[in-house]
């Protein structure tokens, strides 16, 4: 059973690695950021409110975020595993998740923290381009994962854009939110005995190989 949290600062590669993990292991990808962006694109009240926080780089309030995760994690497709990307981000969310996963008997099995330094995060965010087509949402990087045709999505042909919160101002606030509110969760999950750290500075396929090693540790004969 793989009930995973993938953690890391903005731009560490959570979305990129999530895509590879769900493809290999066939578990649902639960990204709170993606869920809020979809809600914003659909123009729902929750989406409009969330967009105000997101575009400013601030965290969406705990009660809203916990409610959407609670609903999603309780769905039948999460019974055989799930991958949380970008949740929890506060101690309140982590405690709520612990209660919820106990209630629904889907306890966490792995917490993987992607490590990357600030300069690399800034470069990755500045060179990220995303597909605005909500039924596609593919993500690229001008340096490390360029589209085949300049400025166009490989999958659906839409013009690629910069994510609304990938401005230098918003990124600065996101990083501060990470340092102040999310970073303490590393110690929280270390204490729980669940934490595994992975070097996120390596190439995308090398990072993925390290994650697979965490999820499928080599058999120890001794």
Restricted to residues 163-222, the positions that interact with ligand AP5 (CB under 6 A) are 165, 174, 200, 203-204, 207
Of the two residues 2 and 20, which places its CB atom closer to ligand AP5 in the complex? 20
Active site residues: 14, 89, 128, 163, 174
Pick one of 3, 21, 141, 211: the residue that binds ligand AP5 (CB under 6 A): 141
Give SS3 for 5: strand
How many residues at the interface with ligand AP5, by CB under 6 A? 35
Q: How far is the CB of 16 from ligand AP5 (least distance, A)?
A: 3
15 binds Mg ion (CB under 5 A): yes
| Shorter beta-carbon distance to ligand AP5: residue 27 or 130 | 130
CB of 188 to ligand AP5, least distance (A): 14
Whole-number minimum distance, CB 219 to ligand AP5, in Å?
27
Question: Is residue 29 within 8 Å of residue 23, measured between CB atoms?
Answer: no
Q: What does the block give as tokens for 162?
A: 């910069």
Which residues in the 151-170 window bind ligand AP5 by CB under 6 A? 165
- 3/93 with CB nearer ligand AP5: 93
Q: Which stretch binds Mg ion (CB under 5 A): 7-15, 48-56, 57-65, 151-159?
A: 7-15
Report phi then psi at 130, rounded to 5. Answer: -125, 160
Least Å distance between CB 62 and Mg ion? 19
CB burial of 200-209 (b: ≥16 within 10 Å; e: otherwise) equals beeebeebbe
- With respect to ligand AP5, which residue has the nearer C-beta, 57 or 106? 57
**Which residue's structure tokens are 């890391």?**
8
CB 96 within 8 A of CB 32: no
Which run of H or E residues covers position 120?
helix 118-126
Which parts of 60-119 interact with ligand AP5 (CB under 6 A)? 60, 65, 86-89, 93
Distance (Å, whole) CA 200 – CA 208: 9
CB 126 within 8 A of CB 166: yes
**Contact criterion met (CB below 8 Å) for 130 and 34:** no
Q: Least distance (Å) from Mg ion to the CB of residue 100?
A: 22
Applying CB under 5 A, the span of 11-19, 61-69, 160-168, 206-214 interacting with Mg ion comes to 11-19
Query: What is the per-residue DSSP string for 152-198?
Result: B-TTT-PBPB--TT-SHHHHHHHHHHIIIIITHHHHHHHHTT-EEEE
- Binding residues for Mg ion restricted to 148-207, rule: CB under 5 A: none
Positions touching Mg ion (CB under 5 A) are 14-15
């Amino acid at each position: 059973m793989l009930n995973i949290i993938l953690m890391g600062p903005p731009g560490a590669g959570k979305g990129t690695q999530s895509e590879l993990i769900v493809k290999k292991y066939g578990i649902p990808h639960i990204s709170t950021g993606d869920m809020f962006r979809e809600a914003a694109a659909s123009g729902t009240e929750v989406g409009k409110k969330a967009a105000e926080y997101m575009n400013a780089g601030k965290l969406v309030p705990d009660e809203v975020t916990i409610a959407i995760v609670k609903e999603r994690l309780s769905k039948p497709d999460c019974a055989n595993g799930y991958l949380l990307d970008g949740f929890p981000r506060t101690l309140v969310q982590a405690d709520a998740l612990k209660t919820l996963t106990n209630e629904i008997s889907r306890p966490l099995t792995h917490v993987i923290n992607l490590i990357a330094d600030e300069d690399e995060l800034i470069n990755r965010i500045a060179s990220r381009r995303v597909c605005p087509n909500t039924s596609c949402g593919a993500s690229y990087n001008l340096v490390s994962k360029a589209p085949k045709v300049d400025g166009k999505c490989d999958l659906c042909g839409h013009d690629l854009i910069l994510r609304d919160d990938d401005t230098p101002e918003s990124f600065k606030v996101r990083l501060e939110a990470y340092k102040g509110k999310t970073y303490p969760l590393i110690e929280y999950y270390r204490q729980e005995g669940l934490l595994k750290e992975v070097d996120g500075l390596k190439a995308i396929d090398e990072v993925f190989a390290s994650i697979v090693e965490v999820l499928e540790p080599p058999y120890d004969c001794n």
